[in-house]
Amino acid sequence: MIKFPNDFLWGAAASAPQTEGHSSRNGKSATTWDKWFELAPEKFNDNQGPENTSNTYEMFVEDVVNMRKIGMNSYRTSISWARLLPDGQNLNDEAVNFYRTYFQTMIDNGIEPIINLFHFDMPWWLMEKGGWENRESVDDFAYYAQVAFEQFGDLVHRWTTFNEPTVHIECGYLYGYHYPAVVDLRRAIQVGYHTLMAHVMAVQKFHQVNVDGQIGIILNVLPAYSRSDDAKDLGAKAISDLLSSRSFLDPVVLGHVPNELVKLLKRNELLPEINDNDKQLIIDNTVDFVGINYYQPRRVQAPKNPNFPAKMPSDWFESYDWPDKRVNPYRGWEIYPPALYDIAIMMRDEYGNIPWYVSENGMGVADEERFIDDTGMINDQYRIDFMKEHLEQLHRGIEAGSNCFGYHMWTFVDCWSWLNGYRNRYGFYRLDLNNNYKRTVKKSGLWFQQITQNNGF
């Protein structure tokens, strides 16, 4: 029997834009997702946009009851900035009421709400003035954070600022998956830097508002494994880790941007514009805990024909096909549970053993309906096996002294996912879009219930 520490958090993660629905209603203003869907619906899988998602705005009580049924003791979701402050300044009372009732319902059912502030959902009014490229976005975000802490700080005791900041940077400014779909490494770096400063200023507000709780951030870590021990391949691994993990982990936990990153950007004439007192602000506003999203590792080698100065990250490292690669056949992502152990050890040894938790881990499956069994339930044994293997590795890491306090799966109810719409299903509960958003527990949900009951398996 594998037992986890007392008070371990067991739960799931989601986000406001992917679950709430009512995206153009109840006082919410548009985000880049609403606008993009209006402008180019064909980009979205099956033309499914953000208006409906899983309708949590109306169904949150049922959701919370379902969370309790599978024994969850915590749930991470986000607040929608464009719902709380539709024009960036004035409070939407209906939103305050919605979130307060939602969070209170969780608390009444023994579920701790862990609340995140930004999950890829840039308000349109801010995008119109340049989004994260504009330094003003830092103050705008800090103001939003302050309002959220003031309005909900009595109910929420664990807060996070951003979910996977490297994703909105890369997807919006390098790879075309998020609006504004620009391809420009220099702009991507400036966006990244302003995101970091927005995080830092939100942490400062957290302390000023004096919230009774803890503040963190959620980072997607892609541990890199090099093709060989050749110095060039090892160099590629080091740069991949710098960009994908250390670019945020180092400043938010240790209080400084890695020197190697500064040198790399300088050499490539890519340093962002910074303000004089930023350095001190970063030192003064480190986090209390970190959430790590782990899905897959990255296999890297030195690039064959790099540009100098670099135009894209592929000028610094290339992916290669690892011969022993085990793949999730339904999503194409590598499955490599030992990386979770490596992450645990990295957090222990390189980040002062700061408290952390697995804030997302999960297995996306396309056309999951094909796994419905005779009883009408989705028999997602593959997801159970996936969780089990990852939890075993996490447990090894905890036994080795890593300070991990919880495990959240992505996700609770199948949800809408950006350009992918409803293609990839991840939930403990199946969402039936043809039947009034009906939720039905999957086999993995029942398995999770046993884990939560026994605090292990």
Q: How far is the CB of 421 from ligand BG6 (least distance, A)?
A: 8
Q: How far is the CB of 198 from ligand BG6 (least distance, A)?
A: 18
Q: Which residue number, 32 or 417, has a Cβ lying nearer to ligand BG6? A: 417
Binding residues for ligand BG6, how many (CB under 6 A)? 13
Q: How far is the CB of 424 from ligand BG6 (least distance, A)?
A: 4
Window 256-295: residues binding ligand BG6 (CB under 6 A):
293
The correct pick among 164, 170, 250, 334 for binding ligand BG6 (CB under 6 A) is 164
Q: Is 360 a catalytic residue?
A: yes
Residue nearest to ligand BG6 (CB): 417
Q: How far is the CB of 67 from ligand BG6 (least distance, A)?
A: 18
Given the residues 20, 112, 170, 360, the one annotated as active site: 360
Q: Which residue number, 291 or 303, has a Cβ lying nearer to ligand BG6? A: 291
For residue 17, which amino acid is it?
P
Q: Is 427 in the site for ligand BG6 (CB under 6 A)?
A: no
Q: Which residue number, 83 or 331, has a Cβ lying nearer to ligand BG6? A: 331
Window 303-332: residues binding ligand BG6 (CB under 6 A):
331
Q: Binding string, 125-154, against ligand BG6, x = CB under 6 A? A: ------------------------------
Q: Binding string, 209-248, against ligand BG6, x = CB under 6 A? A: -----------x----------------------------
3-state SS, one letter per residue, for 342-402: HHHHHHHHHCCCCCEEEEECCCCEECHHHHECCCCCECCHHHHHHHHHHHHHHHHHHHCCC
Q: How far is the CB of 17 from ligand BG6 (least distance, A)?
A: 9
3-state SS, one letter per residue, for 164-189: CHHHHHHHHHCCCCCCCCCCCHHHHH
Given the residues 20, 112, 164, 334, the one annotated as active site: 164
**365 touches 425 (CB < 8 A):** yes
Strands 298-301 and 356-360: unpaired
Quote the radius of gyration of the chain (alpha carbons, Å): 21
Q: Is 364 in the site for ligand BG6 (CB under 6 A)?
A: yes
Residue 450 neighbours by CB distance under 10 Å: 12
* Alpha helices in 75-164, H assignment, sequence order: 81-84, 93-108, 124-127, 136-152
Q: Which residue number, 144 or 422, has a Cβ lying nearer to ligand BG6? A: 422
The correct pick among 163, 244, 285, 296 for binding ligand BG6 (CB under 6 A) is 163
Stretch that binds ligand BG6, among 348-356, 367-375, 417-425, 428-436 (CB under 6 A): 417-425
* Contacts of 411 by beta carbon, 8 Å cutoff, 6+ apart: 12, 13, 14, 18, 362, 426, 427, 428
The correct pick among 54, 80, 190, 424 for binding ligand BG6 (CB under 6 A) is 424
Residue 416 neighbours by CB distance under 10 Å: 27
The correct pick among 314, 420, 440, 449 for binding ligand BG6 (CB under 6 A) is 420
Q: Which residue number, 268 or 424, has a Cβ lying nearer to ligand BG6? A: 424
User: CB pairs under 8 A, 24+ apart, for 175-180?
Assistant: 177/418, 177/419, 178/32, 178/120, 178/418, 179/32, 179/33, 179/35, 179/36, 179/122, 179/127, 180/32, 180/127, 180/131
Q: How far is the CB of 357 from ligand BG6 (least distance, A)?
A: 15
Helix axes 338-350, 381-399, angle to 10 degrees: 30
Window 29-88: residues binding ligand BG6 (CB under 6 A):
none
Does residue 317 sit in helix, strand or coil?
Answer: coil
Q: Tell me which DSSP letter residue 27 carries.
A: T
Q: How far is the CB of 417 from ligand BG6 (least distance, A)?
A: 3
Stretch that binds ligand BG6, among 253-261, 271-279, 394-402, 416-424 (CB under 6 A): 416-424
* Alpha helices in 184-226, H assignment, sequence order: 185-209
Q: Is 447 in the site for ligand BG6 (CB under 6 A)?
A: no
Q: How far apart are CA 227 and CA 300, in angstroms?
A: 6
The correct pick among 152, 410, 447, 457 for binding ligand BG6 (CB under 6 A) is 410
Q: Which residue number, 42 or 276, has a Cβ lying nearer to ligand BG6? A: 42
Sign of CA dihedral 374, 382, 162, 113: positive
Residue 408's φ and ψ, nearest 5 degrees, are -115, 135
User: For the chain, give me the number of helices (H) and strands (E)?
Assistant: 16, 15
Catalytic residues: 164, 360
Q: Which residues bind ligand BG6 (CB under 6 A)?
A: 15, 18, 163-164, 220, 293, 331, 360, 364, 410, 417, 420, 424
